[in-house]
Amino acid sequence: MLSNKTPSTVRSIINAVQRYKVLNTLTHDCFETALETEQQLLSQKKNNSALNGRPILIKDNFCLRDTLTTCASKMLANFRAPYTSTIVQRLIDHGCIIVGKTNMDEFAMGIASWSSFGPVANPWSLTKTMATNEEDNKTVLHIAGGSSGGSAAAVAANFVSIALGSDTGGSIRNPAARCGCYGFKPSYGLLSRYGMITLVNSFDSPGFFARNIDDLIYATNAVAGPDNEDATLIPKPFKPLKTSTELSKEKRKIIIGLPDDYDIGTLSTEYRSCWHDLVHQLTETGEFEFRRVQLPHTSYSNAAYTILSACEIASNMARYDGIKYGHHTKNIDKNKDTYEDIVTKTRDESLGERVRGRILAGNYYLLQENYEKYFVQSQRVRRGVVNDHKKVFEEDKIDCLLAPVVCDDPITLAEYQKSDHIFSEDDLFTVGANLAGLPALSFPVRLSSKGFPIGLQLVGPFMQDQALLSIAQRICSTYEFPFLDLSIQN
């Protein structure tokens, strides 16, 4: 179970993905082209990128030319992207081999990666029991987190060493913590969003999953930096992040903030202990100092995120009207149906409940009589969240924050199906970094008593991605996490 060597050939990855189909990590595969690309790369002169020949998976909300790009929705079930996203193109240019598109919550809304393709299962469920048939599976398999659950599960299971995801309100950090791998959301504006199907323009950030921090760095270095196609990017040249071997060995004491406001009642005793134990362990090394800090807008941040994201979603989803592209209802009465009728039927047939709910909520918040009460008020909270973080980083002189990512172990797929899963309390831990555009990294710490990974996150000052990753390297080198490996055939 404890190997960290990821299968390096496309064939071995195909075998592993097929053997563990029950995890449902992919919406569709690119196996044939991946095998061909592998052959081509073998016959070419090697480029010196650390990613050359590296098989990777990409979340199904990134466009790849002529390939299905569905956002795991029936709405885009037949949509072949006419162009390739900047990030994916840069990965290809570095010699990455794209093996498939990963399953996710529909249009990246959610925390369970349950879509029209079915649910992604948490790979750690398989260490406890072997799934048998679809209905029984739901009681023995657990959620993988979301929305980038397919990418997280595939990396955690060791099918691939790196996978691409997106984080709007926690969608990289949440599944990384649930599945037991690293998940990095860089500062907003560092990675191009061109060709990543938008969820919430002002929060969305592409980012990576990996089994070590150096791989996150290789992948981020390969894709970061200015792009004329994305006007929201930081217009400065990108200074490559340093890997563990390039970092200076000088060991300045690190000051880490522990936000009291994240210590909420729903955080389980076990997950709280994991957080506190790590603090004790690190304090004992003498290299870290911890200070309690206040982020007073935290308790409003989930509400503000919910409102602001719904508003942008309502506007972004207007394009899915069944006319321009995507699903188009066949159930049209030519003599009677108006444009609105066609939109309604198209969306009813092809969008899930959560997506429709958010479009409805967003339009409600944006009504003239509600605008001030919801949208403007939430923007004020957003400013408050930004200022809270500025204060702890600048006035309290904190290098980064250490906080939980989720409250407790994952629930089973059956429990999830029964629950009211439209909103998630766990988002409280993650949305702050998106509201403020800050870099954040979730890392696996240990296993819970039931044998599920417990992850924690670090959140750093804006554009201090290098410092954040260096601190993470130092923290994670103080212990060993028992990574899962389903790629080896028993």
Residues that bind ligand GLN (CB under 6 A): 108-111, 147, 166-171, 199, 309, 424, 427
Query: From the candidates 113, 151, 171, 350, which is the catalytic residue?
Result: 171
Surface-to-core class of residue 55, CB atoms within 10 Å of its CB (0-12 exposed, 13-18 middle, 19+ buried): buried
Q: Which tokens sit at 372?
A: 């001030």
Q: Which tokens sit at 229?
A: 């196609």
Beta carbon of residue 231, minimum distance to ligand GLN (angstroms, whole number): 21
Beta carbon of residue 427, minimum distance to ligand GLN (angstroms, whole number): 5
Q: Which tokens sit at 23?
A: 């995890």
Q: Which is nearer to ligand GLN, 406 or 471 (CB)?
A: 406
* 121 phi/psi in degrees, rounded to 5: -105, 150
| Residue whose C-alpha is closest to residue 142's, from 441, 429, 417 | 417
Whether residue 206 contacts residue 220, with contact meaning beta carbons closer than 8 Å, is answered with no
| Residue at shortest CB range from ligand GLN | 171
Beta carbon of residue 358, minimum distance to ligand GLN (angstroms, whole number): 8
Q: Which is nearer to ligand GLN, 243 or 424 (CB)?
A: 424
Q: Which is nearer to ligand GLN, 141 or 428 (CB)?
A: 428
Q: Which is nearer to ligand GLN, 160 or 313 (CB)?
A: 313
Whether residue 92 contacts residue 415, with contact meaning beta carbons closer than 8 Å, is answered with no
State yes or no: is 59 an active-site residue. yes
State yes or no: is 171 an active-site residue. yes
Residue 162 pairs with which residues in a beta bridge?
A: 56, 210
Query: From the candidates 73, 85, 115, 147, which is the catalytic residue?
Result: 147
Percent of residues in the chain assigned helix, strand, coil, to nearest 5: 40, 15, 45
What does the CA dihedral 211, 212, 215, 219 come to, rounded to 10 degrees?
Answer: 70
Could you give the maximum distance between any two Cα atoms of the chain, in Å?
77
Q: Which is nearer to ligand GLN, 257 or 362 (CB)?
A: 362
Beta carbon of residue 306, minimum distance to ligand GLN (angstroms, whole number): 8
Beta carbon of residue 429, minimum distance to ligand GLN (angstroms, whole number): 11
Q: Which tokens sit at 293?
A: 């800090």
Beta carbon of residue 354, minimum distance to ligand GLN (angstroms, whole number): 8
Q: Which is nearer to ligand GLN, 171 or 346 (CB)?
A: 171
Q: Which residues of 132-141 are buried (b: 16+ CB within 10 A; e: fewer)?
A: eeeeebbebb
Whether residue 53 contacts residue 97, with contact meaning beta carbons closer than 8 Å, is answered with yes
Q: Which is nearer to ligand GLN, 71 or 157 (CB)?
A: 71
State yes or no: is 166 an active-site residue. no
Beta carbon of residue 159, minimum distance to ligand GLN (angstroms, whole number): 22
* Cα–Cα dist 373/360, whole Å: 17
Q: Which is nearer to ligand GLN, 167 or 485 (CB)?
A: 167
Surface-to-core class of residue 26, CB atoms within 10 Å of its CB (0-12 exposed, 13-18 middle, 19+ buried): buried
Q: Which tokens sit at 61?
A: 């909300």
Beta carbon of residue 104, minimum distance to ligand GLN (angstroms, whole number): 8
Q: Strand, helix or coil at 27?
A: strand
Whether residue 472 contacts residue 213, with contact meaning beta carbons closer than 8 Å, is answered with yes
DSSP 79: P
Q: Strand, helix or coil at 458?
A: strand
327 to 20, 66, 261, 323, 342: CA distances (angstroms): 30, 17, 43, 8, 11
Residues with a known catalytic role:
59, 147, 171
